[in-house]
Amino acid sequence: MTLPRSVTAGSSFSIPTSGNGKAVLYIVGPGQALRRAVQLGGAASIAAGDLSSAGHYLAILTGESSSDTGEFDVTPVDSPESLGFLAKPSRLPVGLRNGISGTVYVFDAYHNLITKPLPASFELSVPSGTVQARTVTTRNGLAWTAMDSAPKEATAKFVARVGGASSARVIQEVPGDPCSISISAHPNGGRLAVETAPVRDCSGNAITDGTIVTFTENFNNTQSTVDVPLKKGIASVDMPANKGARISVASGVVAGNEIRWDGGR
Amino acid sequence: MIKRLLVISCALSMVTAAGWADQPTVSVTPPQLQGSRPVEAQTATAVVRDYLLSWKSLYKALDQNRPALLDAYFVGTAREKLANTIDEQAKLGIHTRYVERAHTLQIIFYSPEGLSLQMTDTVEYDEQVLDHDKVLATKPMKQRYLVVLTPAETRWKVRIFQAEAAPAPL
């Protein structure tokens, strides 16, 4: 039999044979296994779509009195049909350099990895219109990039495109840690109302509601703490109005100011 | 780098010593990454170990025509394609033995987020195709595979397993 050196996945081709009589042709590899009845002296036809898994194949022609073997390759179609796009993380703080990474694997219509170098474009955009774009040439079927999160909180769209295939992921860019926290206090009946100013990150984004702020009161060698979630960017709490008490505030690694309650004078 | 290679070599010796009947020879060349995340020695050792074990499950699955044997080490496209081959083999009444003789491995990409790792394996093996118990053909092969592995709960699993076409003659 006369085998092609390589064929494109899914294409039709034929394998000419010589001799007389009937034979069976096997084409076997890890990716696929086929059998065709052959009239020796004619050609075995492999129809379009019959052999679609890229890889290396062993061909065996077994006749009544003889057999023949050979090898050939099936190569991916060069046209991208789908992408495997790994983007991470799905949520991250604003203003992080190279904080978002994307890796794209390029496949043809038969889910073969296309190893021929192709230009892959990555685009990270936010509703305000800011766009980061990169073009990377694929190597061994993949391309990757890293991008910065925006300075302002937003829902970003991360898109990878190779040829006519594209894939998108949504990335939540959320405020980072508080930049600073300041509190003020005023009497509220027999107690003390303590409240933060609006809590923001260092880019001026309001810190996400639900972030825990810890208030601590030190009085007469005793310490009491209250954890309060931010609500509309502010945390507030009523604490005992002990004259001479020192009240401080913190959230995560950021400590705020301390106030000393002197009884309202 | 030398220290890292030594760690991998030692780990491989341990795997080999653990006992497979006819062990293939295994060599690991230093990673040649596409500027991506470096591979920690522990990760490289685990990846190589799990990949070599995947060949054992591939051998058994394709020899016994039992796709379930793929589950421990293959996932996604690689598992689907191998399982389809097993279905086709079973329908044709044939089975295949892939007897490994040598692996030359090289990690070529580790994604920044750690979710995928790409490796090449120039593998030498004998491919034997049998119609029930009758040997149809046995042929020694030398092929370069592109492999993508992804981390699962307890091990790395092969997600893409594809032989590359031989370079065209000059």
Kindly state the tokens that stand for B44.
Answer: 């490289």
Residues of chain A found within 8 Å of residue B116, distances taken between Cβ atoms: 86, 103, 105
Domain limits at B105? 2-14+26-163
Residues 6+ apart with CB under 8 A from B24: B52, B55, B100, B101, B102, B103, B124, B125
* Residue B31 predicted with pLDDT over 90: no
Interface predicted TM-score (ipTM) of this complex, two decimals: 0.86
pTM here is 0.83
B130 touches chain A (CB under 8 A): no
- Final residue before a domain boundary, out of A135, A151, A174: A174
Mean pLDDT along residues B1-19: 42
In Å, how far is B104's CA from the nearest CA of chain A? 17
What does the pLDDT read at residue B13? 41
Residue B169 lies inside a defined structural domain of this protein: no
Contact A140, A114 (CB under 8 A): no
Dihedral of CA B21/B25/B31/B34: which sign? negative
Domain limits at A198? 178-260
Give the alpha-carbon dihedral of B61, B65, B67, B70, to 10 degrees.
0
Q: What is the mean pLDDT of chain A?
A: 93
Q: Residues 14 to 33 of B: which have CB under 8 A from any A CB? A: none
Give the CATH number, domain containing residue B144.
3.10.450.50
Query: Do A137 and A188 share a domain, yes or no?
Result: no
> Backbone phi, then psi, for A117, in 5-degree steps?
-60, 130
Residues of chain A found within 8 Å of residue B165, distances taken between Cβ atoms: 6, 54, 56, 73-75
Give the CATH number, domain containing residue A199.
2.60.40.10
Predicted confidence band of residue A223 (pLDDT cuts 50, 70, 90): very high
What does the pLDDT read at residue A163? 96
- Final residue before a domain boundary, out of A174, A191, A209: A174
Predicted confidence band of residue B5 (pLDDT cuts 50, 70, 90): very low
More confident residue, A23 or B11: A23
Give the CATH number, domain containing residue A143.
2.60.40.1930
Kindly state the tokens that stand for A185.
Answer: 């206090």
Q: What is the mean pLDDT of chain B?
A: 87
B92·A105 Cβ contact <8 A: no
Contact B98, B59 (CB under 8 A): yes
pLDDT digits (tens, 9 = 90+) for A167-202: 999 999 988 889 899 999 998 888 999 999 999 988
Mean pLDDT along residues A58-87: 94
pLDDT digits (tens, 9 = 90+) for B85-142: 999 999 999 999 999 999 999 999 999 989 999 999 999 999 999 998 899 999 999 9
Q: How many domains does chain A have?
A: 3
Residues of chain A found within 8 Å of residue B59, distances taken between Cβ atoms: none
Question: Within 13 Å, how many C-alpha atoms sit on residue A101's CB side?
Answer: 12
* CA nearest to B154, candidates B53, B61, B84: B53
> Backbone phi, then psi, for A192, in 5-degree steps?
-120, 120
A224 touches chain B (CB under 8 A): no
Contact B161, B168 (CB under 8 A): no
Kindly state the tokens that stand for B72.
Answer: 């421990």
Residues of chain A found within 8 Å of residue B115, distances taken between Cβ atoms: 86, 88, 103
Residue B120 lies inside a defined structural domain of this protein: yes
Return the residue matching tokens 């208030």. A215
Q: What is the DSSP string of B103-141?
A: EEEEEEEE-TTSS-EEEEEEEEEEEEEEETTEEEEEEEE
Among candidates B58, B129, B163 on the partner chain, residue whose Cβ is nearest the Cβ of A55: B163
Residue A57 lies inside a defined structural domain of this protein: yes
Residue A10 lies inside a defined structural domain of this protein: yes
Residue A1 lies inside a defined structural domain of this protein: no
Residue A265 lies inside a defined structural domain of this protein: no
Encoded amino acid at B122, one letter: T
Query: Do A146 and A196 share a domain, yes or no?
Result: no
Residue B157 lies inside a defined structural domain of this protein: yes
Residue B57 lies inside a defined structural domain of this protein: yes
- Final residue before a domain boundary, out of A54, A75, A96: A75
B161·A30 Cβ contact <8 A: yes
Query: Do A42 and A91 share a domain, yes or no?
Result: no
Residue A41 lies inside a defined structural domain of this protein: yes
pLDDT digits (tens, 9 = 90+) for A69-83: 999 999 999 999 999
Kindly state the tokens that stand for A107.
Answer: 């496949």
Residue A231 lies inside a defined structural domain of this protein: yes
Q: How far is CA B113 from CA A12, A99, A103, A145, A206, in A?
A: 40, 10, 9, 11, 28
B129 touches chain A (CB under 8 A): yes
Residues 6+ apart with CB under 8 A from A20: A40, A41
Among candidates B77, B85, B146 on the partner chain, residue whose Cβ is nearest the Cβ of A30: B85
pLDDT digits (tens, 9 = 90+) for A91-145: 999 988 999 999 999 999 999 999 999 999 999 999 988 899 999 999 999 999 9
Contact B119, B145 (CB under 8 A): no
Q: How many domains does chain B have?
A: 1
